[in-house]
Amino acid sequence: MRLTIFTVFTALSPFLILAAPVSEYTLNARDAGQSTSGRTPVISQQPTFSGDVTQCQGYSIDQTTSTSTGGLLITLKLLDKCAAYGNDINYLEVSVEYETSTRLHVHIYDKDQHQYQVPEYVLPRPKSSASSSDSDSCELKFDYKQNPFEFWITRKEDEAILFDTRSKNIPTYEESIQVEGAYSNYTVLPSHSLIFEDQYLQLSSALPDGANIYGLGEVIAGSGYRRNESATVQTFWTRDVGDPVDENMYGVHPMYMEVRWNETCNKLNSHGIFLLNSNGMDVILRDGVIEYRAIGGTFDFYFFSGPSPNEVASQYAQAVGLPQVMPEWSFGFHLCRWGYTSVEDTRTTVRRMREAGIPLEVQWNDIDWMRAYREFQFDQNYAPADYKAFIDELHSMNQHYIPIIDAAIGYLYNDSDVFDVYSRGHELDVWMKNPDGTEYIGAVWPGFTVFPDWFNPKMQQVWTEAFRNLSQVVDFDGIWLDMNEPSSFVDGSASNSTIAIENTTVVPPNYTPQAPPVDFPEGYWPNISGYSGNISINGTLSYGQNGTAPKNEALRRSYTAEIEHAKRQTIPDHIPQIPFVDEPPYPIRNQAGRLSAKTVSPNATHYGGLQEYNVHNLWGTMEELATHTTLLDLKPGKRPFMVARSTFAGIGRKTAHWLGDNYSTFAYMKRAIQGVLQFNLFGIPMVGPDTCGFNGNTDEELCNRWMQLSAFFPFYRNHNTKLAISQEPYVWDSVRDASIKAIHARYALLPYWQTLFAKASESGLPPVRPLFHEFASPSYLSIDTQFLIGPSILVTPVLQPNASSVHGVFPRTNGVFWVDWWTHSKVDTSKSENVSISLPLGEIGVHVRSGSVLLLYDQPEYTVKETRDSGHGLLVVLDGKGYAEGDAKIDDGESYPVNDLSCLSFVASNNCITTTHQGNYDIENKLKSVTVIGLWIQPSQFTLNGKKVNSNQIKYDASVGRVKINGLQGDLNQGWVLKWE
């Protein structure tokens, strides 16, 4: 949650006078919306440095040593003075380690190790496999050239060069190209020598023509899930911003996967590359090249051999940390809005959901529960006794509750003000500092604020105490961490040793609402149809009533450019001191402008003198580590659940993520798919958007379609902004009905979701996948209007307004076919795998892959617990040869860590289904039903473990070749056989 459009300028205008002056260099260096192509590279912000990378000659090898693990240690010496955007570092070390059979680690760092490196307690480094830590057993090979030093990485299996820093193989570009509709001087790439300076690192690698690049996020890419390989500038600097397109935003994940089509063997080969660096950075893609430009740190690369896309995702997750297994209740439907102004408002929403029959698993509250938006203090309309009673009511109905906690902590207004959390932190000295040692004071929702210093060893104590005190009233089941980029509504600190807070010129923002937002989806015109958002007004469609019916422009893709605590244990041996911390010589393309814009300034300091400059991109992750520890302390043995906005590589092992402050448009509904795919690649699979949109107003048609789409994302929450029209799914009858239908399907599939997430936590396999992860075809590489849940469920939503059908791709490789989830009818792909399917409003395309066996819940109920207690069902879709297989992993859905787990395997073949059981979890709920699709001749009888099934338990539908057997009491702890004749 963040500022809505109508409050932005009101809130920020008092602070503009306090913003630090922007230098001439900054203005020249930023993209300024050039209308013609230019030849000027990025200009240095500091006149000491030239900004001319063409003068840099790189490094030569001074010494090479073999390591005891079979790797290399190479010493490099600077060839000639460079000083493009920083002070040259004369000697480097290159460490090459073959860590596993599929992972190669290449780390280029300064010999004195004065550059910042991400600590182990923030991102634990992956362990080497003792049997594979040598060059002979690794699928990847490291080669190098001595003078100048250049290296390349080859996959042995197909001799493909995956990463190649040899300048002769990399094109240079003297002319800029368009990014976001304007020519960008960041796309001028005149030279590709290795550059390693204290505030500027540059390294380039060759790419094949038409490279298929995925990742490099967090981003909403205009090109879709597949990145624009011809004109991309991806900036890594976390910031609070409402879901922009092709700009830096909340998270930092400098990882990408590249996919290549091998025509010789008709195979898609993939590999992955991860740069572990927390400093601000730009990554530029132009035809034939990827270039890294970081303003600090080191080049700490991990290479993953793949070769399949699923293997790349798995290898990456294993390197940065496998995702946490999630509590089963978290897969239910979540509801929130900014604007539930009291406990009674919230209670009424819960009651209306139940009256409408729409399953609600988790009720949330936005910042309305806080007194003056101050964390851990209760608003007068959320009196502790009533608040506690409400949450007890939810728990008595098997429902759950999550409140928001923002990142900044309110500062005391005056001497009579009382705020225990601030005072406790002040007492233990855990708030971030100005360079002069005073507390750094920004401004967020509570007005003046301080910011937790997560590197301080006492911060965990303050944080856990605050949550423990809160939990005495609010028995929360999870926590929502927002604004943790971190966000600040001012540029710089409002106070320091020379300016007392009472003398500051900063005026806290005025959050008095101005008017309700008028934004609706593009074709809804409130001046014609009113503010209801209804799909029809007096029998007339409301969309396009000004004479136009706009299409979803996000469906148009172009991939070519226009031609013209973990606890802090010790202080590091060396704390880097940055000479140009506020305006580094190389200005990364931060779309907010200065690095300090709307966040904590890079000169703010952490424990031991560590500067925000180096760790800004880790701030949210550090908060998530601390909160995870807190949740384990408060609810030992239970799976922690938190949803956070700002993330860094590897934090999927602790948190879930939502896709931020999106907009109520069809374009953003479509863009949610790429976001979910992106974070499944990043190893943070529990992810989803604000369903129906956060900013602006939704309408009936959009919310109908979106509620159904999000039911098939891992994280499923409806959330919108203050004063927008209500968008709870009971507001419109059609949305209510569509939501109930989709949620029932979701709840039936919960054992499948739990199985996929169990596999993700064991091996890193992504639960949600693009089609090309399962079906090797170059024609699938750009598809992000459909997606797969695991290998067996294909989701095809309607993403255009005023549409009642959609074209989808239904792969038929190796005889695969698809069966409709709702009707069990087979999709006709006899003429083409591109099929038009009818999906009137209230329906979404969901299809099951032939050859699949899915363990389900037998009867979806109002809550996840009630659904679980209904018992299990089995869905079997036989392939053309009468075969199907599947598996399931079952536990109690809440214990942490998972010690008791049972694994079931199902095989259908030769007119029987057999199941085997392994594990130690006692599955109490019985198998109630079995549905078999693909039996085109009605069986005469069924037997379960040799005992004949009563004929009145069996229903046969010849139109879809389906048999359903009800009334079973199968024990899933035992192996069993179901036969038919």
Instruction: Please state, in angstroms and rounded to a whole number, the distance separating the CA atoms of residues 694 and 664.
Output: 6
Instruction: Please state, in angstroms and rounded to a whole number, the distance separating the CA atoms of residues 238 and 254.
Output: 12
Handedness of CA 209, 215, 217, 219 (dihedral sign): positive
SS3 582: coil
DSSP assignment letter at 264? T
**Helix axis angle, 459-471 to 420-428, nearest 10°:** 160
Residue given tokens 């991990």 in the structure block: 302
Which conformational region is residue 567 in: left (phi greater than 0), alpha (psi within -120 to 50 degrees), or beta? beta
SS3 524: strand
E strands, 460-513, are 479-482
What token pair was written down for 60? 């030569």
Taking CA atoms, 644 is separated from 478, 481, 838, in Å, by 11, 5, 37
**Helix axis angle, 700-710 to 733-748, nearest 10°:** 0
What token pair was written down for 759? 């596999």
Residues constituting the chain:
981
Q: Are strands 200-206 and 212-217 parallel, antiparallel or unpaired?
A: unpaired
Q: Would you tell me how many other CB atoms lie within 10 Å of the CB of residue 313?
A: 30
Query: DSSP assignment of 67-93, as one string?
Result: -TTS-EEEEEEE-S---SSS-B--EEE
Query: DSSP assignment of 938-975, as one string?
Result: --S-EEETTEEPPGGGEEEETTTTEEEE-S--B-TTS-
831 Cβ contact partners less than 8 Å away, ≥ 6 residues apart: none
Instruction: Please state, in angstroms and rounded to a whole number, the distance separating the CA atoms of residues 799 and 457.
Output: 48
CA angle 145, 147, 149 (to 5 degrees): 55
**CB contact at 8 A, 676 and 717:** no
Query: DSSP assignment of 151-217, as one string?
Result: EEEEETTTTEEEEE--GGGS--B-S-EEETTEEEGGG-B-----EEETTEEEEEEE--TT-EEEEEE
Residue 164: active-site member: no
* Candidates 453, 485, 701, 858; catalytic one: 485
Q: Are strands 976-980 and 912-919 parallel, antiparallel or unpaired?
A: antiparallel
Instruction: Please state, in angstroms and rounded to a whole number, the distance separating the CA atoms of residues 251 and 791.
Output: 28
Residue 661: active-site member: yes
Instruction: Please state, in angstroms and rounded to a whole number, the distance separating the CA atoms of residues 792 and 773.
Output: 12
Greatest CA span in the chain, whole angstroms? 91
Which of 464, 812, 864, 445 lies closest to 629 in space, CA to CA? 464
* Candidates 110, 661, 728, 833; catalytic one: 661
786 Cβ contact partners less than 8 Å away, ≥ 6 residues apart: 771, 794, 795, 796, 797, 808, 809
* Candidates 482, 784, 843, 858; catalytic one: 482
246 Cβ contact partners less than 8 Å away, ≥ 6 residues apart: 179, 180, 219, 220, 221, 222, 232
256 Cβ contact partners less than 8 Å away, ≥ 6 residues apart: 213, 214, 215, 216, 227, 272, 273, 290
Q: Which amino acid is at 72?
A: L
Instruction: Please state, in angstroms and rounded to a whole number, the distance separating the CA atoms of residues 206 and 514.
Output: 52
**CB contact at 8 A, 588 and 281:** yes
Catalytic residue IDs = 482, 485, 661
